[in-house]
């Protein structure tokens, strides 16, 4: 819902979803209603074990050359990578090219870095990283994002 809503209020938004790999879902968000876009996204990108490293590789292969000083990257996820290679080198490359990298994590900050969480390894390559566990936090984030992107 967040991504779908964001595409309606900010121009030139590209949306991606992932579990075991990354898939661009922009076309569904542009052409479908929320329910259909969500169903298509879950059907084609849901259900696998999360692999942030592989998803970052796919993003790098398909999109990194389009990221520049005007680009804001927003990551939504818990950074739990199932003990795979987190590919922090790609996060660094994204950070170095983009205007800003924002990470919203649904877990409490105390859990970042515990178990298979790679959040503490990704955080140095984020302009802004914070927990986002409630509608109030999400509303505050959207408000700030809209204010600073104007």
DSSP one-letter string for the chain: -HHHHHHHHSTT---EEESSSEEE-HHHHHHS-HHHHHHHHHHHH-SSPP-HHHHHHHHHHHHGGG--TT-EEEEES--B-TTS---HHHHHHHHHHSSEEEEEESS-GGGTTSTTB-HHHHGGG-SEEEE--SHHHHHHHHHHHHHHH-
pLDDT tens, residue order, the chain (150 aa)? 777 777 777 778 888 999 889 999 999 988 999 899 989 998 998 878 899 999 999 999 999 999 999 999 999 999 999 999 999 999 999 999 999 999 999 999 999 999 999 999 999 999 999 999 887 888 788 787 777 665
């Amino acid at each position: 819902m967040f991504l779908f809503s964001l595409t309606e209020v900010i121009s030139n938004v590209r949306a991606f979803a992932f579990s075991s790999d990354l898939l661009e879902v922009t076309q569904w968000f542009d052409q479908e209603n929320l329910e259909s876009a969500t169903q298509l996204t879950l059907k084609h990108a849901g259900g696998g074990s999360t692999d942030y490293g592989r998803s970052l590789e796919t993003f790098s292969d398909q999109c990194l050359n389009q990221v520049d000083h005007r680009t804001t990257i927003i990551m939504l996820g818990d950074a739990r990578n199932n003990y795979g290679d987190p590919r922090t080198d790609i996060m660094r490359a994204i950070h170095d090219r983009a205007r800003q990298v924002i990470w919203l994590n649904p877990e409490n900050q105390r859990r970042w870095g515990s178990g298979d969480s790679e959040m503490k390894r990704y955080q140095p390559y984020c302009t802004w990283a914070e927990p986002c566990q409630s509608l109030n936090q999400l509303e505050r984030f959207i408000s700030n994002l809209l204010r600073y992107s104007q």
